[in-house]
Structure 1
Amino acid sequence: MIMNPLDKIVAQSVRDVLEKDLGRHTYKKIEKEILDTYGISVLDAISDFAKFDLVLRKFFGNHAAKLESRIFKKVIVIKKKGKDEPSILIKNPNTAKMIFEAYGDPVKKIIMEMLLKQPKSIPEAISQSKLPQASTYRRAKELIQEGLLTMAGHTKAIDGRKVTEYATTLNRAIFDVQDKGLSVSIKLQGKFLKDSFVFNSISER
């Protein structure tokens, strides 16, 4: 299953708020249940919110949806203007810092700018950018892990192999520094927003 990029981007923030909101004792019970049921960490389950949701429903029943919405609202704020794609304010300084550092890395910035225009395979992007192969592969892998690059389909390489194409998740990122630390307002490509568990949990209420 392909994880939604917005859910992946904010997963660490949600995990931090979850532990603080529920308390250490309840959090450890949820952590154990996720491990026993799926064999994965809380962070991995949050990145794949269907698993996270099922475990919370086991503990909190019908109240799970309200709990999720409350936690998500502490992580992001949705701002809509007319028919435009909504912008999403990420309030967690650690997540904002991760995005800021990605755009501040010259190689990562080139990759994201190139794949914003048109999805490409990572080898194709490296070839066209003339960036060093080893370090660029490493940075591209980091962008995928962070949710800033998202699988957008497949194509065939010159040798006939099937390879994955990636697209840049964000259309825009605007950073702001306030008393509580760094925040970022982002706009995602619409195709990546509609399947977000976090986004839909908030916008439906």
Structure 2
Amino acid sequence: MNEIDRFFANSVESIISENLGHSALSKIKSRLSEKFGIGIYESLAQFSKFDIVLREFFGKGADSIERKCFESILLLDSKSMKNNGMYITIKDNDLSMLFLETFGDEMKKNMINCVTDKSMTIYEILQKCDIPQTSGYRKIKQLIENNFLTIQGFGTSSDGKKIPKYTSVFENIKIDIEKNKVLVSVKIKKDFQDSDMLEIMQTLK
């Protein structure tokens, strides 16, 4: 699954559910299962598949549904793309709070920063950040579950087993608080800029 699509999948699912209603959503879920053998979350994490089924039901009207959904969650900075970068502003409050909580945790922040330029195994991350294993494993698990870290390559353990290496999905995270509102701007790492969701967003403008 694409890392960026996966990161935003839960937020998109929430907005889609609010806008489509139970009946339409049930039909879409049935069609996704029939056509691709996947559920709603999996389709949003591979957004082009959700887009295909949405257009089967709504045709060109899918544009307005997707546009409304995206506008509620994130803003893509088109100017940054011309300068070989891809910055997004998080508009969804729950996601903004997740960034604030994650980067407000010194251990999690250090873990993310240490794999920004180089992927590492969990053991290497804990060693590099000098973090105790018990609390460290728990926090890394949370970072993986929340899609801040993703697998990029594999290493080999002392007994010859293949073990995953992890890297961060975002870089250059900027968090501000204005009038009790959390403002988050992030740059998507070059390795993860290939996103069905972001590609479709650009066609809707």
TM-score (ref. length: structure 2): 0.84
> How do 1:5-20 residues align onto structure 2 when only pairs under 5 Å count?
5-20=3-18
> How do 1:109-148 residues align onto structure 2 when only pairs under 5 Å count?
109-148=109-148
| 1:88, distance to aligned residue in structure 2 (A) | 0.3
1:147 counterpart SS class: coil
> How do 1:15-94 residues align onto structure 2 when only pairs under 5 Å count?
15-34=13-32, 41-61=39-59, 63-64=61-62, 67-79=65-77, 80-81=79-80, 82-94=82-94
- Identify which range, 129-138 or 100-109, moves more after superposition: 129-138
Aligned counterparts of 2:137 and 2:196: Cα–Cα separation in 1 = 29
> Do 2:114 and 2:128's aligned partners in 1 also have CA atoms closer than 8 Å?
no
Aligned counterparts of 2:99 and 2:39: Cα–Cα separation in 1 = 23
Corresponding position of 1:204: 203
1:29-49, CA deviations, whole angstroms, 9 ceiling, x for partnerless residues? 334444566665533431232
> Do 2:13 and 2:44's aligned partners in 1 also have CA atoms closer than 8 Å?
yes
- Identify which range, 64-73 or 165-174, moves more after superposition: 64-73
Aligned counterparts of 2:178 and 2:35: Cα–Cα separation in 1 = 40
| 1:93, distance to aligned residue in structure 2 (A) | 0.3
Alpha-carbon distance change, 97 to 89 in structure 1, aligned in 2, over 3 angstroms: same
1:83-127, CA deviations, whole angstroms, 9 ceiling, x for partnerless residues? 140210110000111121111122211210111131111122123
1:137-172, CA deviations, whole angstroms, 9 ceiling, x for partnerless residues? 222122112111121112222332211111111112
Contiguous gaps of at least 5 residues in structure 1: none
> Do 1:156 and 1:162's aligned partners in 2 also have CA atoms closer than 8 Å?
yes
> Do 1:157 and 1:163's aligned partners in 2 also have CA atoms closer than 8 Å?
yes
Alpha-carbon distance change, 196 to 111 in structure 1, aligned in 2, over 3 angstroms: same
Aligned counterparts of 2:124 and 2:180: Cα–Cα separation in 1 = 41
1:120 counterpart SS class: coil
Aligned counterparts of 2:179 and 2:201: Cα–Cα separation in 1 = 25
Corresponding position of 1:165: 165
Q: CA RMSD in A?
A: 2.5
Alpha-carbon distance change, 41 to 104 in structure 1, aligned in 2, over 3 angstroms: farther
Counterpart residue type for residue 197 of structure 1: D
TM-score (ref. length: structure 1): 0.84
Alpha-carbon distance change, 179 to 37 in structure 1, aligned in 2, over 3 angstroms: farther
| 1:58, distance to aligned residue in structure 2 (A) | 3.3
Contiguous gaps of at least 5 residues in structure 2: none
Alpha-carbon distance change, 46 to 137 in structure 1, aligned in 2, over 3 angstroms: same
| 1:134, distance to aligned residue in structure 2 (A) | 2.6
